Amino acid sequence: MKGKSIKVDYLARVEGEGGLQVKIRGDEVKEAKLNIFEPPRFFEAFLRGRKFTEAPDITARICGICPIAYMMSSCHAMEMACGVKVEGPLRDLRRLIYCGEWIESHGLHIYMLHAPDFLGYEDAIGMAKDYPDVVKRGLKLKKIGNDLMILMGGREIHPINIRVGGFYKVPNKKELQKMVEPLKWARDASLETVKWVSTFDFPDFERDYEFVSVSHESEYPIDEGGIASNKGIDIGVEQFLDYFEEHHVKHSTSLQASVKGRGSYMTGPMARYSLNFNKLSKISKEAAKEAGLSKTCNNPFKSIIVRAVETLYACDEALRIIASCEMPDQPYIEIEPQEGVGHGATEAPRGTLYHRYQIDKNGIIKDARIIPPTSQNQSSVEEDLTEFVSKNLNLSHDELTWKCEQAVRNYDPCISCSCHFLKLTIDRE
Amino acid sequence: MARERKPKLAVWKFASCDGCQLSLLDCEDELLAVADKITIANFPEASRAVIKGPYDVSLVEGSITTPHDAERIHKVRRASKVLVTIGACATAGGIQALRNFSDVKDFVAIVYPSPEYIVTLNKSTPISDHVFVDYELRGCPINKYQLLEVVSAFLIGRKPIIPPYSVCMECKRKGNICVMVAHGTPCLGPVTQAGCGALCPSYNRGCYGCFGPKETPNTNSLAEWCKKLNVSRDDLTRFFRNFNAYADSFRKESEAHER
């Protein structure tokens, strides 16, 4: 065969609008491009002139799938700018609601967006006809994540209870206790999920990634820490822009990030897992080993297993927090604005989310910078596609197209975020 | 005899955060039952399968912000018997309508190093500025039970029952103490449509207007009351200028206090 073009105009089962274009000439992949045509929304521009206290509610609207990540990264940045650190029980409760978002978002991606690829279904609803109990388990798991967000945040999408300094109102110990039984069920269901997804067929595909994630001295990275990579980065969050940069490419309304002087990197579940295996809870480490994972994972198609392990961890961690946490005396720390710059990075389910703000003495935002996970992963997705397609030119057009879509979905890309995705073209000649 | 046909539902996305369409997937207890009664014919966030129109009901999320989308919405309208907008972006332009109060060229230059790559309209506008809309469902995000009500109503062929009154009504029914009267916290509840279940006042904070203006909102009176609480003009402008900033009554009120 001389050549071919693979084209997916609108990639499905991802959050947002994008497409994919792969150009093949002979036996060579000339180019793989992730086209992001999500309309630009200009958050960094209209944040200027808003109050520092408004950033969590406004930036939550960048993404309906991971609002907690936006709220938390912005809170951390504003608190740093004002010279305040939220610690103790309030910090524990922040980590608790973040666990809810991980359970919900990972549950959604594993069961509804990614598993259908492995089992050959167009969607989870089709899959439910043959695997009703599995899909119901996934929906219930996702719902428990949402219930935790509702309890702590008021609602699951764009929660209203998070503010710079803490919460507007904290639930009492008794209300938290109501989540214990559902979370125990969710932990068991996550364990079943790890076993189930580990039985899927995985393409034989590995790459030598630079993994980047938030890094904490003793905890699995979710809500707090510096930034680390497996290729020597180990910095405080305030140094983020010294090590990473963004480029503007013509085919995208999202900027693409890279490590300065080095190139692409990967953020998200595989990066967190490979950099922090030892910080997982005992049950999560054991489940990972039983599923056949080693301490690092370099096969992006296996990210679905890692996501399941992380869901298990999030349930376990939520239970640990509920069992050990003291209730705070005040729902929030009163914060007075001061002139300054603050940085915040936390782990959205799909990867590291960085915010930087400059505020004046009255707390008015003068400058804002937001680097979401999908723009950080975009180059890595394109490199995966180039290499994957080169090795699989023998596949039929339809099969290769579907596999390319799957390779993009490995990243759980959130295009609403990064444009702040998908159209697939494979072009062969 | 005609064969019995399941109604076709389509979901379309314009400029938005995906949160409102996620509400459909967040109906964990109802989703499989809904999928049993209707054909989900076009819903890219959830399925790679696409069934051709026309569609019985189209749910439209997001606002119009690019020349391409201004064309695309007409194709969606032509393919849809009933078109329902879901959420503040589709119904009022959304948070991205904050550009409507500035020069969008400045915005492009702030965010993108190569502004020439960006194609965008000066304003972010609601779907109803472009095509006829059969029903507008409010919220940032929408309430998923209201979504189920609207979808079932149109599929059965009756009017949806969505209350147009204010958040205050929900607050009183919940037995909340008024955050504005008792604590002096500015609250958009009196001028904002119900639907969230008076969430913010239940969490000791003032409403920030996710569901947009109620029918006949007296925004001017609310602004006067806020001034008595020493809310500055700049804060008043920001107060009315959120996720429904471009909804007529909120827009006018925010402009009245802008310096």
Q: Rounded distance, CA A62 to CA B21, Å? A: 14
pLDDT reported for residue A189 = 98
B108 touches chain A (CB under 8 A): yes
Q: Which residues of A touch B46 (CB under 8 A)?
A: 12-13, 112-113, 123-125
Please indicate whether, in this complex, the C-beta atoms of B102 and A45 are within 8 angstroms of each other.
yes
Q: Which residues of A touch B102 (CB under 8 A)?
A: 45-46
Assess contact for A264 and A210: CB atoms under 8 A: yes
Please indicate whether, in this complex, the C-beta atoms of A40 and B111 are within 8 angstroms of each other.
yes
Across the A/B interface, how many CB contacts are shorter than 8 Å?
Answer: 182
CA distance A265 to chain B (A): 21
Rounded to the nearest 10°, the torsion over CA B258, B122, B73, B147 is -30
B22 touches chain A (CB under 8 A): yes
Please indicate whether, in this complex, the C-beta atoms of A64 and B31 are within 8 angstroms of each other.
no
Q: Which residues of B touch A130 (CB under 8 A)?
A: none
Give Rg (Cα) of chain B: 20
Q: Rounded distance, CA B238 to CA B258, Å? A: 9
Give the closest of A37, A43, A158 to B19, CB-based. A158
Give the closest of B13, B22, B44 to A157, CB-based. B22
pLDDT reported for residue B72 = 94
Give the closest of A45, A51, A125 to B107, CB-based. A45
Please indicate whether, in this complex, the C-beta atoms of B95 and A58 are within 8 angstroms of each other.
yes
B70 touches chain A (CB under 8 A): no
Among A8, A11, A38, A42, which would you mutate to test the B interface (most chain B Cβ atoms within 10 Å of its Cβ)? A42
Average pLDDT over residues B89-111: 91
- Name residues of chain A where pLDDT drops below 70: 1-17, 251-253, 415-429
Q: Which residues of B touch A136 (CB under 8 A)?
A: 32
pLDDT reported for residue A334 = 96
- Closest residue in A to B203 (Cα) is A169
CA distance B52 to chain A (A): 15
| H or E stretch covering B8 | strand B8-13
CA distance A49 to chain B (A): 9
Mean pLDDT rounded to a whole number for chain B: 94
Q: Where are the domains of chain B?
A: 8-156, 167-257
Q: Which residues of B touch A249 (CB under 8 A)?
A: 117
Give residues with Cβ within 8 angstroms of A99, minimum separation 6: A145, A148, A222, A314, A315, A317, A318, A321
Please indicate whether, in this complex, the C-beta atoms of B47 and A61 are within 8 angstroms of each other.
no
Does the pLDDT at position B50 exceed 80? yes
Please indicate whether, in this complex, the C-beta atoms of B95 and A41 are within 8 angstroms of each other.
yes
Q: Rounded distance, CA A268 to CA A303, Å? A: 9
Please indicate whether, in this complex, the C-beta atoms of A12 and B202 are within 8 angstroms of each other.
no
Please indicate whether, in this complex, the C-beta atoms of A248 and B114 are within 8 angstroms of each other.
yes
CA distance B172 to chain A (A): 18
Query: HSE (CB half, 13 Å, CA atoms) of A169?
Result: 17
Does the pLDDT at position B144 exceed 90? yes
pLDDT reported for residue A375 = 85
Average pLDDT over residues B11-15: 94
The packing angle between helices A132-153 and A180-197, to 10°, is: 140
Please indicate whether, in this complex, the C-beta atoms of B120 and A65 are within 8 angstroms of each other.
no
The CATH number given to whatever domain includes residue A321 is 1.10.645.10
Question: CA nearest A95: which of A148, A55, A134, A26?
Answer: A148
Structural domain that includes position A406: 5-428
CA distance B46 to chain A (A): 5
Q: For residue A345, what are its two tokens?
A: 């990075």
- Closest residue in A to B107 (Cα) is A45
pLDDT reported for residue A12 = 65
Average pLDDT over residues B42-48: 85
pLDDT reported for residue B46 = 85
Report DSSP state, residue B216: S
pLDDT reported for residue B192 = 98
More confident call, B194 vs A378: B194
- What ipTM, to 2 d.p.? 0.95
What is the number of domains present in chain A? Answer: 1
Give the closest of A38, A108, A122 to B48, CB-based. A122
pLDDT reported for residue A99 = 98
Q: Rounded distance, CA B253 to CA B212, Å? A: 13
Please indicate whether, in this complex, the C-beta atoms of B20 and A64 are within 8 angstroms of each other.
yes
Assess contact for A144 and A183: CB atoms under 8 A: yes
Burial A136-175 (b: 16+ CB within 10 A, else e): ebbbbbbbbbbbbbbbbbbbbbbbbbbbbbbbbebbeeee
Give the closest of B16, B22, B96 to A42, CB-based. B96
Average pLDDT over residues B181-195: 97
Give the closest of B111, B118, B203 to A44, CB-based. B111
pLDDT reported for residue A425 = 59
Question: CA nearest B188: which of B162, B174, B216, B208?
Answer: B208
Does the pLDDT at position B1 exceed 50? no
**Topology at the third CATH level for domain B8-156:** Rossmann fold (3.40.50)
Give the closest of A125, A126, A416 to B16, CB-based. A416
CA distance B31 to chain A (A): 9
Give the closest of A14, A41, A331 to B15, CB-based. A41
Q: Which residues of A touch B235 (CB under 8 A)?
A: 51
Give the closest of B29, B69, B95 to A61, CB-based. B95
- Closest residue in A to B23 (Cα) is A157
The share of chain B scoring above pLDDT 70, in percent, equals 98
